[in-house]
Amino acid sequence: MLNQHPLQVSCGQIKYLYDFINHYRDEKIHITVSQLNRIDMNIIVETELSQEESVKYVKELLKSSPMGSALYFTVKS
């Protein structure tokens, strides 16, 4: 049974991150956006990782996105 971690991502350019992250899947995580707001979104991360590891993983993932290196964002549990 995989863990499900609800996380919050905040960014002034949230749509760029939403487009990249919604329904993202790799060998470690599957991400679904549960709510998109003006400057943040709530996401559900399905993974074997712990909550803390998931936060780190999602941060790195967003950094590696096409706009990630330019954007200022936070990922919180």
- Note whether 36 binds other proteins by CB under 8 A: no
Helix, strand or coil, per DSSP, at residue 72: coil
Q: How far apart are CA 59 and CA 19, in angstroms?
A: 15
Using CB under 8 A, which of 39, 51, 60, 77 touches other proteins? 39
**What is the sign of the dihedral through the CA atoms of 66, 50, 45 and 39?**
negative
Binding segment for other proteins among 23-31, 45-53, 54-62, 68-76 (CB under 8 A)? 68-76
The contact set with other proteins (CB under 8 A) reads: 10-16, 38-40, 66-67, 69-74
